[in-house]
């Protein structure tokens, strides 16, 4: 008599504890499928109410922009945009990647410029820059019709000195600021004193140097080629000194390289800090 009672009680307990029908899990929204146009010719992807907005300025003709899109953008879209945590806005910025534009025949330069003018597009950057040996007032007048970004060119060897000086004189005469006169300056390919002279002259002539450490053309690693009186450490220190805008004249906030302390991450704000860096 006891066993049936226990069985009946167990059955009652099971019946009383019967769960409700399981709810259907709500389907996660894939925000990468939500895309709208933006007024400046770009597009925005993702949750419009996301607290984070990723803004990408890029050019469809730029190989670096393509590499970024194929590598860095994939995890950003997958982890943040798709889940609604962030939205992504792509803003097109035309970049011309032809090498040494001023060295091209004038008629070909005019053909390129005409295409931009006909399309009503302003050139945001000439990524590979101009060749000082072929730059004159005519070059400036041609390209200034469409170029809105910086004027990029190189001063990689002292034998280019006079050509670079003349080009920078043309730009200064036409009111180009130092911020828009960006000069690539190779370091390590010539003795230390020669490279430092080129950095100093870029400032004196009204430009901003951007150092690039010398590497072999066939290198498979981003390791500078140590030559002359350079060391790997000295190459790194000079590159950082320039990147932090500390190579500028002292009256403009710079520090002589001999007094530069690479362990100090910020620019000295007063004389005491300058002495500490020494």
Last residue of a domain, one of 92, 127, 161: 92
> Average pLDDT of 114-143?
87
> Do 73 and 135 sit in the same domain of this protein?
no
> Do 176 and 72 sit in the same domain of this protein?
no
> Do 107 and 228 sit in the same domain of this protein?
yes
pLDDT at residue 4 tops 70: no
Query: Which pTM was predicted?
Result: 0.68
In a domain, 116, yes or no: yes
Last residue of a domain, one of 39, 72, 92: 92
> Do 70 and 159 sit in the same domain of this protein?
no
> Do 72 and 188 sit in the same domain of this protein?
no
> Do 177 and 76 sit in the same domain of this protein?
no
Q: What percent of the chain has pLDDT over 90?
A: 52
In a domain, 101, yes or no: yes
Q: What percent of the chain has pLDDT over 70?
A: 82
In a domain, 64, yes or no: yes
Cα–Cα dist 208/200, whole Å: 10
* Count of domains observed in the chain: 2
**Three-state DSSP string of the chain:** CHHHHHHHHHHHHHHHCCCCCCCCCCCCCCHHHCEEECCCCCEEEECCCCCEEEEEEECCCCHHHHHHHHCCHHHHHHHHHCCCCEEEEEEECCEECCCCHHHCCHHHHHHHHHHHHHHCCCECEECCCECHHHCCHHHHHHHCCCECCCEEEECCCHHHHHHHHHHHHHHHHCCCCHHHEEEEEEECCCCHHHHHHHHHHHHHCCCEEEEEECCCCCCCCCCCCCCCCCCHHHHHHHHHHHHCCCCCCHHHCCCCHHHCCCCCCCCCCCHHHHHHHC
> Do 104 and 72 sit in the same domain of this protein?
no
> Do 197 and 268 sit in the same domain of this protein?
yes
pLDDT tens digit sequence for 78-123: 899 999 999 998 877 666 665 678 888 999 899 989 988 888 877 8
> Do 248 and 188 sit in the same domain of this protein?
yes
In a domain, 70, yes or no: yes
Last residue of a domain, one of 64, 92, 120: 92
In a domain, 9, yes or no: no
How confident is the model at residue 274, as a pLDDT? 42
In a domain, 12, yes or no: no
In a domain, 119, yes or no: yes
Domain that holds residue 251: 95-215+224-277
> Do 74 and 88 sit in the same domain of this protein?
yes
Cα–Cα dist 75/77, whole Å: 5
> Do 88 and 118 sit in the same domain of this protein?
no
In a domain, 196, yes or no: yes
pLDDT tens digit sequence for 15-44: 444 555 555 555 788 999 999 988 877 889
> Do 48 and 74 sit in the same domain of this protein?
yes
Give the domain CATH number at 66: 3.40.30.10
């Amino acid at each position: 008599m006891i066993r049936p009672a226990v069985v009946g009680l167990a059955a009652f307990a099971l019946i009383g504890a019967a769960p409700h029908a399981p709810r259907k899990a709500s389907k996660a929204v894939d925000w990468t499928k939500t895309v709208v146009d933006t007024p400046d010719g770009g597009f925005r992807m993702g949750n419009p109410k996301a607290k984070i907005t990723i803004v990408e300025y890029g050019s469809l003709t730029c190989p670096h922009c393509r590499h970024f899109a194929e590598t860095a953008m994939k995890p950003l879209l997958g982890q943040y945009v798709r889940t609604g945590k962030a939205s992504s806005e792509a803003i097109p910025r035309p970049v011309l990647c032809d090498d040494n534009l001023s060295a091209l025949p004038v008629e070909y330069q005019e053909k390129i410029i005409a295409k931009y003018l006909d399309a009503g597009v302003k050139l945001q950057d000439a990524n590979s820059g101009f060749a000082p040996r072929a730059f004159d007032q005519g070059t400036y007048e041609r390209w200034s019709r469409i170029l809105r970004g910086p004027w990029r060119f190189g001063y990689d060897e002292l034998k280019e000195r006079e050509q670079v000086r003349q080009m920078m004189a043309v730009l200064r005469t036409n009111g180009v600021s130092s911020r828009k006169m960006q000069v690539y300056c190779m370091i390590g390919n010539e003795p230390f004193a020669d490279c430092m002279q080129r950095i100093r002259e870029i400032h004196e002539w009204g430009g901003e140097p951007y150092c690039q450490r010398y590497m072999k053309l066939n290198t498979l690693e981003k390791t500078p080629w140590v030559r002359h009186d350079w060391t790997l450490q000295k190459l790194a220190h000079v590159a950082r000194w320039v990147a932090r805008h500390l190579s500028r004249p002292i009256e403009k906030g710079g520090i002589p390289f001999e007094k530069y302390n690479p362990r100090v991450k910020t620019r000295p704000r007063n004389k005491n800090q300058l002495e500490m860096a020494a």
